[in-house]
A and B are shown apart, each in its own frame.
Chain A
Amino acid sequence: MSRVMIYMIYFTLYTIVLLFWGKSGFKKTNNIKDFCVAGNSLGLFISVSTFTATLFSAVSMQSVTGSVYQYGYSTILYSVIGWLLGGSCLIFVAFKIKQYDIVTVSDYFRIRYESRKYQAFTGVITVICYILYIIIQIKGFGIVVSELLDINYNIAILLIYLFIVYTGFGGLFSVAKTDALNLIMVVVGVFLVAGSVLLNLGGITAIHQEVGIITNGASLDATSNGLFSPVMILTTSLAWGLGTAANPQYIIRITSAKDKKTGVRMICVSVFVLSIIYLGLMVIGMGSRVMAPTADSVESVDEILAYIINTKIFSYVSGVMFISIIAAAISTANSQLLLLSSSFTYDIYINLFKKEISNDKFLNINRVIIFIAGTVSLLLSIHPLETLLIYGSYIWSIVAVTFLCPLYGGLYWKKATRQGAISSSVGGIVAVVIFYFVTHNGILNTDIHPVLPSILISMIIFYIVSIKTYKSQDDRNEI
């Protein structure tokens, strides 16, 4: 039996199971809350599954493996550790956010800052950032499927489009259920590949010794023998970490948990599970360097995982490894598509134009938006971007500067005001754009990621404007 045929069989089986699993979500979804936050009813297992599967994306699966392959353990410092530390910050959100009865994160801003315009503004940012981020998942999926099923990239990306649109239609119940399946596939796939790599190469010590010789020790060094400056590593990690800490897709999972305790436990368990999965990816990345010392056979290092599975460790279970890569992309893309459609419908459309809307109409509009946004992301994915890891960190920077101060400040600082929140978000976005422009056009030569100065500017604006406007509100109250 040919390799393509084996992959095709696994792919067909996965498709059937996914469609079946996702279907039950449609029946449970009757109103706005069911669709956006699963009726605030998710238990610990399903919450951990959906949180972990959403965080573990195509960037994790392909780009972390590819970057460990190329640069070694420094990759972990500037990406994975940032994500995990961002998860720690979410604990602070989990302890407070359940006090608010919210449907989206922007809905929280409306309640806390009493501003429908700010809700709409953050809704627009959510929609734009997630459309751009879904491209990463579509590209990741397209690379693998076109390589392993031996089909054209454009046809491959059409397949993920159908998957994510279908699961998105069922709302968070459907997405969370399919996330559980996808997480199981990811865990099994990652450890099958890691196990095969270890068995083939004689264990981790042998792999490290061999990689040390191939890369002259660079891959075993925390800064790749000085290739990355500590400032670059720290600030890129910060971009990812702050982007995770303020990310609506994780905060929505806290609100969809059935209670505060479940939300807090979900984060603790998920971060632990993720750290175990990433250990598997490190083994795969390092082992791949030994199996294929040069990346001549692939166009980008993001393709190295698919290449290794297909050529170096191929067996009858390679189909599971193949599905695990697809599962990582789908589980993140469908969550993001759902989030952006909820945000568009609830934070922009209903909020600004149509205050009263029936549940059926809300669900239908959401499904139309899922279809449109999915199509836009699909079209933008036709010309793939450069490396997924760097591109993603810029999008997360926008998320961080928009949401971080208003979210955490709103929850923990009573003097946080609407004016402070709005100015901080706008100032932060402007700062990211300016820093991106000046660093990418050589006007300013620095290793510092744009997120660091931008988030500092955003914090300073938030503090000063809030203090000033809080005082004037106090004065008015006294008069």
Chain B
Amino acid sequence: MEEQMAFLGLPIETWLIVGGLYFVATFLPSVIALILRRKEVKKSK
């Protein structure tokens, strides 16, 4: 069987797909809020 690269016992591929999306989903609201806030400030100026 082909040996898979792993971190903490979890394959790197799963880290990238599940972990990556999880990370993005966690911080996306804050990023969107910052963008919309900037847009609002720009518009008001």
Of B6, B18, B28, B36, the residue contacting A76 (CB under 8 A) is B18
Which partner residue on chain B sits nearest A76 by CB separation? B18
Give the distance in Å from the alpha carbon of A85 to the alpha carbon of B29 in the complex: 8
Tell me which residues across on chain A come within 8 A of B29, comparing CB atoms.
87-88, 90-91, 267-268, 271
Q: Does B5 contact A (CB under 8 A)?
A: no
Dominant SS at the B interface? helix
Which partner residue on chain B sits nearest A91 by CB separation? B32
User: By CB atoms of chain A within 10 A, which of B8, B10, B11, B17 has the most?
Assistant: B10
Tell me which residues across on chain A come within 8 A of B28, comparing CB atoms.
84-85, 88, 271
Q: Does B44 contact A (CB under 8 A)?
A: no
Q: Across the interface, do A92 and B36 meet the contact criterion of CB distance under 8 Å?
A: yes
Tell me which residues across on chain B come within 8 A of A85, comparing CB atoms.
25, 28
Give the distance in Å from the alpha carbon of A220 to the alpha carbon of B14 in the complex: 7
Q: Does A208 contact B (CB under 8 A)?
A: yes
Of B9, B13, B26, the residue contacting A204 (CB under 8 A) is B9
Tell me which residues across on chain B come within 8 A of A92, comparing CB atoms.
32, 36
Give the distance in Å from the alpha carbon of A272 to the alpha carbon of B23 in the complex: 10
Residue interface bits B11-43, CB-to-A below 8 A is 1, else 0: 101100110011001111110110011001000
Q: Across the interface, do B25 and A206 meet the contact criterion of CB distance under 8 Å?
A: no
User: By CB atoms of chain B within 10 A, which of A91, A204, A264, A271 has the most?
Assistant: A91
A56-109 interface (Cβ within 8 A of B):
73-74, 76-77, 80-81, 84-85, 87-88, 90-92, 94-95
Q: Quick one: given A271-B29, A275-B26, are A207 and B18 in contact (CB under 8 Å)?
A: no
Q: Does A212 contact B (CB under 8 A)?
A: yes
Tell me which residues across on chain A come within 8 A of B30, comparing CB atoms.
268, 272
The number of chain B residues with a CB under 8 A from chain A is: 22
Q: Across the interface, do A208 and B9 meet the contact criterion of CB distance under 8 Å?
A: yes
Q: How far is the CB of A329 from chain B (nearest CB, A)?
A: 24
Of A73, A88, A208, the residue contacting B25 (CB under 8 A) is A88
Q: Across the interface, do B8 and A204 meet the contact criterion of CB distance under 8 Å?
A: yes
Which partner residue on chain B sits nearest A221 by CB separation? B14
A215-229 interface (Cβ within 8 A of B):
217, 220-222
Q: Quick one: given A76-B22, A81-B21, are A209 and B32 in contact (CB under 8 Å)?
A: no
Tell me which residues across on chain A come within 8 A of B37, comparing CB atoms.
264
Give the distance in Å from the alpha carbon of A265 to the alpha carbon of B36 in the complex: 13
Tell me which residues across on chain B come within 8 A of A265, comparing CB atoms.
33
Q: Across the interface, do A91 and B25 meet the contact criterion of CB distance under 8 Å?
A: no
Shortest beta-carbon contacts, A-B, top 3? A208-B9, A84-B25, A275-B26
Given contacts A88-B25, A209-B9, 15 further A-B contacts (CB under 8 A): A73-B14, A76-B22, A77-B17, A80-B22, A81-B21, A84-B22, A91-B29, A91-B32, A91-B33, A204-B8, A206-B9, A208-B6, A217-B11, A271-B29, A272-B27
Q: 17 A-B residue contacts at CB 8 Å?
A: A73-B10, A81-B18, A84-B22, A84-B26, A85-B25, A88-B25, A90-B29, A91-B32, A95-B36, A204-B8, A205-B9, A220-B9, A221-B11, A222-B14, A264-B33, A268-B29, A268-B30
